[in-house]
Amino acid sequence: MIKPHGSDALDPRFVYDTERHHALMKEAESLPSLLLNSAAAANAVMLGAGYFNPLKGYMNKADALSVAAKLHTTAGLFWPVPVLNLTTDAAAVRGATRIALRDPNVEGNPVLAIQTVEAIEEFSEAEINQMAEKIFRTLDPKHPGVATFTSLGRVAISGPIEVLNFSYFQQDFPDTFRTAVEIRNEMAERGWNTVVAFQTRNPMHRAHEELCKMARDAVKADGVLIHMLLGKLKAGDIPAHVRDAAIRKMVELYFPANTVMITGYGFDMLYAGPREAVLHAVFRQNCGCTHLIVGRDHAGVGSYYGAFDAQTVFDEEVPAGALGIQIFRADNTAYSKKLKRVVMMRDAPDHSDEDFVQLSGTKVREMLAAGKDLPVEFARPEVARILMAYYQSEA
């Protein structure tokens, strides 16, 4: 199985040792505490789950600026996006060497992790904007990632953390949330060596299903990891539990048994396009995957990125050998009326737009809300019914 990023073995920051876990929970009672924002809490969950291997905790100012500008830390570790604990006010923890980090997404704000404080530093507004522009390729406040990042605060608390729980993800998604450690272990149990990962924050329509099968066959994979984001999304995106149900139904009916793992991870969507595609590659490598499908407008939003920027970034900004995982580059995928099957559009140069079955997201939502069936060439009927029930309940 492929090695994790930056080390020979995963080093998740979750405290599995029962005695150590109990001791830290006791220690937390007497520590100054900081209520995290959702982004910092998601970073803690990802550190705890091993997805951010080999990072030990939150980055300091110098590393964050270096990662944003050059995609590597000051020590030379390749990394695509700053991993920060930003806050608007650190007064309650200044002078402390150990602090309890509290979860903003769970009632009662329980302790999520304990951090050893190495530095408390402040970014200027110009530095925050400088990082945002590098990460998102825009400073437009209408971009959801820019809006979130620039509102988190300017004070960065850096240092290693020990994670004590996985926030709401294990409780809300017990059948789906998995750590990188658990995914690696299950792949080993299944005897999978070559594994294709498919990232999704949306339900999977017919084209997505066929794309996974095309990639699996092209690289002769032992299996496919469907890996869905379970954290915070922008308004209008479909909730995780609906996506989960739709994807499970699709896999149950339309994939051979034991060829797909359906899992999810606890992270908030960044909508950072190319940089987020590289981040996705890092944590799929940490899961043990050998390939990641990167399609048209991967992790994008609106019209901020070129259609294939998330693919070319691997040529233009990722140094040779920086990652062990390989990228499976996909084009738009749609049902061909001529060929009567799903194809990548680049493989059908003799087709016009009218030869494909394509629907905009807006049109899909309108049809489902109105109780109209989607074309079977676009969506499996059993999947469409699950989505229809959701949209009609929201109407």
* Positions marked catalytic: 201-202
SS3 212: helix
* CA 145/CA 269 separation, integer angstroms: 8
Element (H, E) at 112: strand 111-116
| Buried b / exposed e along 97-130 (16+ C-beta atoms within 10 A) | ebbbbbbebeeeeebbbbbebeebeebeeeebeb
The single-letter DSSP state of residue 336 is E
* CA 14/CA 347 separation, integer angstroms: 45
Residue carrying structure tokens 């990641």: 292
- In order, the DSSP letters of 141-184 are TTSHHHHHHTTS-SEEEEEEEEE---TTHHHH-TTTB--HHHHH
* CA 113/CA 136 separation, integer angstroms: 28
Please count the other Cβ atoms lying within 10 Å of the Cβ belonging to residue 329: 18
* CA 294/CA 302 separation, integer angstroms: 17
Identify whether the C-beta of residue 183 lies closer than 8 Å to the C-beta of residue 53.
no
Question: Residue 146 has which token pair?
Answer: 């820019």
**Using alpha carbons only, what angle is made at residue 53 by residues 22 and 56, rounded to the nearest 5 degrees?**
55
Q: Tell how many helices (H) and how many strands (E) occur in the chain.
A: 13, 15
Give me the phi and psi of 343, to 5 degrees please: -140, 160
Please count the other Cβ atoms lying within 10 Å of the Cβ belonging to residue 7: 11
Identify whether the C-beta of residue 180 lies closer than 8 Å to the C-beta of residue 49.
yes
